[in-house]
Every structure is written in C-alpha cells, then in structure tokens.
Structure 1
C-alpha cells in the first residue's frame, strides 16, 4: 500500500508509504494521493487533512526512474501522468491541509508545500527543488505560489539554485510555519490539527475558500506555463545527461 490512510477525531492522516525509495512519487502514489484528497474533501466526517511521510523522508520527489522511462518508452509516455491529477486535487481541497515534513522533501516533496495551510517541519529535515540540476523547469505552480508565500528572492534561490534548504532557513523564508524536534513533530502537527478539527467544517471551508479564491486563476496560468517549459526541456541534452547519471549511480549502489 503506497499510501496509508487513517482517521481520528475528524482528522484524516495520509502517510506517503514508499520508504524504500524515500517516498518518491510514482504514478501509483500520485493517483492514490489524489484519490485520498478527493475522498477527504467529500467526507462529511473529515475536517482536516494531515499529510506526512513514512520512514526517514517526507518525499524524494518525482520517481526519476519513471521520468527516464517517459523519455525512452513512448508507449509509457503516451499514457499521461497522474501528477496533474494530484495537483488538481490539492488545488481543489476545500478543507485545511497540514503538512508534517518529517524528513527530506525534494521536488514535489517541497513544492507541494505551497498548497498547505500550515507546514510543520522536523529540525533535521531539509528541502530542495532540483529543477536546474535536472535541466528542467518548475512544477506544481511553484513559480507562482512560492514567490507569493516566500517573497521573490527567497523563491528565486530555492527554485534556481538546486541547493538544500535547512529547516530553520525554510521557516525564516516563510515556507514553513513551525520547526519541531523530530520526536515532537507529529504531536505538534496533530495538536494543531485537533484545534482546527474542533471548529465547524462549514466555517473552515468558508475561510479557506475566501483565502485561496484569488489564487485559482494564477495557479492555472502558472501550471500551463510550467508544463510548456517542462515538456520542452524534458529529454533535452541537460535533462537526459542528469537522468543517465542518476540511474547510473543507482545501478552501481
């Protein structure tokens, strides 16, 4: 089971569960997460969604083995991707989303935080968006959401540099709300989730809708721009070389 789902006191916890590959998103996990978000949205007993990762990672991002397969296997590429299915589900989620970043968050494991209403992060966790090191473009409307959330220069460094961001720096930048000791992370995230879950769901939805409504058109436009650039760059020389180096290292492990 690539995604664990549990309910307690009107809080639905989704746990990314591919710990052997640091919870990297493959097509199965994209679809499972999207489905779980849709189900939480439609469940009248769920007030808050809490998202975290199993093992030592939050998510290592897109499964790069699958990314390379998209370049080398036209039949697989023609099947499309559930990446956009998950992004649509995140965009449409009408209830509060809390992320508890328990370990490394890479690529979509970092950019999806732009959709969270509250982000808690372990003091030992780190974030990275390796788009330039992979020779590709941003994703998940991060080119729009992150400057709004973090300010232009903080977002520029995160998206352009492909460098690691430590937890305290992520908090200073505004991407993370609270940094916690590793053993306290889930307790703190859950404590705040319980506070929200004690409020009327109709009111939670109204507040969130009024906050996110101004961003909907911007997310859609940014997503279209990013897809255009990503499609152009994926499989080009820089991307092909980066993926070959990655799979080569993986094969020699």
Structure 2
C-alpha cells in the first residue's frame, strides 16, 4: 500500500507512504493518490482532506528512475491515471484540501501546494522546484499558480533557480500559511481541518467553488502550455544529461549542450 488513509471527525488524512523513496511519485502512487482524492470527493462523510507524507519527506516528486524509464524504455507501462490524472483530481477536488508539509518537497511535492486551500509546513522542511536542474518545463499549472500565489519575482526564482526554499522563506512568500515545530505540525493542521470539517459540507463546497471557478480556464491553458513544453524537452539533451548525472551520482553539466538545448 503506497498511501495510508485515516478518517476522524469528518477529516480524511491521506499519508503518502513510500518513505524509503522519500514518497516519490511512482505510477502506483500517482494512481493511489488520485483514487483516494476521487473517493474523498464522493464520500458524503468526508468534509476536509489533509495530505501529508510519512518519514522525512512530504514528497520527492516524480520518481526519477521511472522518468528515465519513460524516456528510454519503449515498453514502459504508464499507470491508470499518472501525473496528469492526479492534477485533474486536484483541479476538480471540491472540498477543502489542507497540506501538511512534514519534510522535503520537490517537484510535484512542491507544485501540489498550488492547489491547497491551506498549507502548514514544518520548520525543518524545505521545498524545491527542480525543473531547470532536470532540463524540463514547469508542471501542474505552476507557471500560472505560483506567480498568482507568491508574486512574479518570487515565482521566477522558485521556478528558474532550482534552489531550496526553507519554511520561513515559504511563509514570507505566501506559499504556506503557517510554519510549525515538527512535533506540532500534524496537531496544528488537524485542529484547523477539524474546525472547517464542523461546517456544512455544502457551504464549504460553495465557498471553494466560487473561489476557484475564475481560475479554471487559466489553469487549463497553463497546463496545456506546460505539457507541450514538457513533451518537447523530455528526453532532450538537457534532460538526458540531468538523468544520466542522477543515475551516475554526479553533478549535471549543461555547459557543453548546443545553444537552445
């Protein structure tokens, strides 16, 4: 089982559970998380979803070994939903979604926060969007949601630099709402989740729908642009060098790539 599910006081806690892989999203975990969100959306007893990770990571994003297989193995088997299916589920999730970032969040482990209604972060956690380190494009409508959430210049740094962002920086930018001591994170996040969960679900859904509806067309357009760029760059010279460097345990060297690669 790659995801743990716990129900209490109309709050469903989803815990990503691949701690040995830093909760990196394999095809199986993409599918399990998507199915869990779809089930929570349809369950009349669930008012709020709280998403967190097991171990020292929130999520290390897409499993790079699977990304490499996708670019090199013609027989690679995709999951039922995959990355885009998870983003579809997040875009359409009708109820409050709270993220509790317990540890490292890379790639999808950071861009997911663009869909959170509230985000709580451990003071020891860090976030990174490593798109330029991987020689690829942004994902999950982050090219639209990040500037909207944290401002254009903050978003430019986060998306272009592939540098780590600590909890205080993330809160100052507006990427997270509260920073908590590690041993208090889940209690604080759950207390806020239960406050919301005590409200009428129909009203929670109405508030979220009226807040997110104006963003839908722009999110869809951003995803289309990003996916086109990602398809073009995946398996390209920069991406091949990044994945080879990862597999060989060395820093990537982009200095010898042809112009425009």
Q: Same fold (TM over 0.5)?
A: yes
- Write out the 4+ residue segments of structure 1 that deviate beyond 2 Å after TM superposition: 77-81
Structure 2 unaligned segments of length 5 or more: list them: 251-261
Check if 1:39 corresponds to 2:36.
Answer: no
Give CA deviations for 1:129-167 in whole Å, capped at 9, x if unaligned: 000011000000000111110010111100000000000
Give CA deviations for 1:28-68 in whole Å, capped at 9, x if unaligned: 00010000000000000000000000001000111000000
Take 1:59 and 1:208, find their aligned partners in 2: how far apart are those partners? 25
Take 2:70 and 2:82, find their aligned partners in 1: how far apart are those partners? 13
TM-score by length of 1: 0.97
Equivalent residue number for residue 220 of structure 1 = 220
- Matches for 1:1-253 after TM superposition, within 5 Å: 1-76=1-76, 82-249=82-249
TM-score by length of 2: 0.94
Please tell me the root mean square deviation across aligned C-alpha atoms, in Å.
1.2
Take 1:243 and 1:82, find their aligned partners in 2: how far apart are those partners? 20
Deviation at 1:245, TM superposition (A): 1.0
Report the CA distance shift for 1:70/1:81 in structure 2 as closer, same or farther (over 3 A).
farther
Take 1:51 and 1:43, find their aligned partners in 2: how far apart are those partners? 16
Q: Is 1:71–1:77's contact at 8 Å kept on the other side of the alignment?
A: no
Structure 1 unaligned segments of length 5 or more: list them: none
> What is the DSSP-based 3-state SS (H/G/I as helix, E as strand, rest coil) of the residue aligned with 1:208?
helix
Take 2:74 and 2:228, find their aligned partners in 1: how far apart are those partners? 18
Across the two proteins, how many residue pairs are aligned to each other? 250
Take 1:54 and 1:141, find their aligned partners in 2: how far apart are those partners? 26
